[in-house]
A = this chain, B = another copy of it.
Amino acid sequence: MTVETKLRELRARLLEIRDLGWAAAVLSWDQATYMPAAGAPGRARQLALLGRLEHERMTDPGLGRLLDVLAPYANEHDNDNARLIAVARRDFDKAIKVPASYVERANALGSASYSAWRQARPSNDFASMRPYLEKSLELTREYVEFFAPYQHMADPLIDDVDEGLTSAAIRALFDELRRELVPLVTAIANQAPADDRCLHGTFAERAQLEFGLKVATDFGYDLKHGRLDTSPHPFCTKFSDADIRITTRTYANDLSQGLFSTLHETGHALYEQGIAPELAGTPLGRGTSMAVHESQSRLWENVVGRSRNFWQHYYPKLQQEFPEQLEHTSRESFYRAINKVERSLIRTDADEVTYNLHIILRFDLELELLEGKLAVKELPEAWRERYERDLAITPPDDRDGCLQDVHWYSGGIGGAFHSYAIGNILAAQFYAAALRAHPDIPDEIGAGKFTTLRQWLTENLYRHGRRFKPAEIVARATGEPMTIKPYMAYLRSKYGELYRL
């Protein structure tokens, strides 16, 4: 058999794996958007079945033998086939290390823990979650052992979503970031707080959705290959290379949540829609990592969507949409409202400046839990201490304290939160690089044009999918390794001006 035949077989196997995942994505999307609640047990069973079929194919020894035969071709660089073989090898090697029986146990614990959490959070009942959290920690440790040896227990978890990144690198980055952020937040807190009452009138949700979708399509989101629906938790999902959907959530009494959720998910969708057609249906045909993906949602949501230039163009349109509600609010007041900085309890409501402090403390606590330096029962107290130290506020209870995020209570401890903060950092770094190449981008944004920015991102990031590892694509696109400098410069410039620091 020729290499071409072998490659064709590889692509066919990988496409089948992708198709099973995409079929499952349709079922999950329907569950989140339209399914009546009573459909849940059947849907869970069907998703488990599709997951099992996908896992069987991902770990098929025949795939391993095929990859062995093709291994010599993975060494050539600058060649999609070589990279395809390497990525498929990496995915296969990771998948076969985890026994199917483990996956089942972990999924079962995840579902049980999630159900318990849905009760426990509103009842502020951390005690009832303790056994779940302890079991999750135990299963996480078991998982990590499949990937021994490692430098730190968190490393295999981080590598799953951000290839090549380590807890040591993140810790160094976060220490630096925290040193810079804490005084900035303190300086802002000493100023008069912004007034955001203009965001809390009554805004027809249909009009909110339409306005958000208009901006999304102006950004370049292609409705011929996607659509917007609503769901309790906004997300971006993919059913094939030609069908990339987003969801959002609106509140009648909060204009900003729905709009910025839409723009956030649009950023994810632009990345997926920008991937080169020749990578379609292969493991290369998706964003290169969780943190890089998050950089694009944050770039479009915050760097673009919360910029003064953006609202120069869109605020009159928003006023047209909501004339009564916004007639007495100036563009500048609105701009200040959507960029209000505030030390707050809830991560998902946090502004651009304080957000990362929420993340950093979660990351630190995760590492301590994994390392055994922090016992589960000590978590609420440790959480309170860190919020007091980093954000100068004291959570009044666990509901709005260490019970607030779903992550730890769905069976996963470690390997997710870091990417949200790195997403913010990289958003600024990519944007700064785009600006160096095209200094007129802010003016274009001020005219409601996004083509130059989107094309630069497509050319330097989106189209490559997983062709390059996260660190490689960052260096190629921005000319330097990941750094917090553009991010801190962005925050200092924007918020220094806003808060007259």
Contacts and interface: CB of A to CB of B under 8 A. Distances in A.
Contact of A243 (B29, B35, B226, B227): B35
B45 A19 contact: yes
Given A16-B49, A23-B23, A42 B224 contact: no
A243 B49 contact: no
Contact of A223 (B36, B225, B229, B241): B36
A42 B239 contact: yes
Contacts of A240: 39, 41-43, 45-46
A192 interface: no
Nearest to A34: B227
Nearest to A48: B19
A43 B238 CA distance: 12
A22 B42 contact: yes
Contacts of A144: none
Interface residues of A, number: 35
Interface in A1-35: 15-16, 19-20, 22-23, 26-27, 29-30, 34-35
A38 interface: yes
A37 interface: yes
B241 A36 contact: no
B49 A20 contact: yes
B36 A243 contact: yes
Contacts of A70: none
A29 B31 CA distance: 13
Contacts of A375: none
B42 A241 contact: yes
Copies in the assembly, this chain: 2
A147 B242 CA distance: 41
Nearest to A27: B26
Contacts of A223: 36
A35 B239 CA distance: 10
A50 interface: yes
A53 interface: yes
Given A23-B27, A27-B26, A30-B30, A224 B43 contact: no
Nearest to A42: B240
Contacts of A45: 15, 19, 240
A58 B45 CA distance: 19
A224 B37 contact: yes
A19 B46 contact: yes
Scoring A39, A45, A223 by chain B CB atoms within 10 A of each residue's CB, the highest score goes to A39
A22 B31 CA distance: 14
Nearest to A223: B36
Interface string A39-67: 10111011001100100000000000000
Contact of A39 (B16, B36, B49, B243): B243
A377 to B, nearest CB: 39
Interface string A253-282: 000000000000000000000000000000
Given A23-B27, A27-B26, A225 B36 contact: yes
Nearest to A24: B23
A45 B29 CA distance: 19
Given A26-B27, A46-B239, 4 more contacts: A16-B49, A38-B225, A39-B225, A43-B243
19 contacts: A16-B49, A19-B42, A19-B49, A23-B23, A23-B46, A23-B49, A23-B50, A34-B229, A36-B224, A38-B242, A38-B243, A39-B225, A39-B242, A39-B243, A42-B239, A42-B240, A43-B239, A45-B240, A53-B53
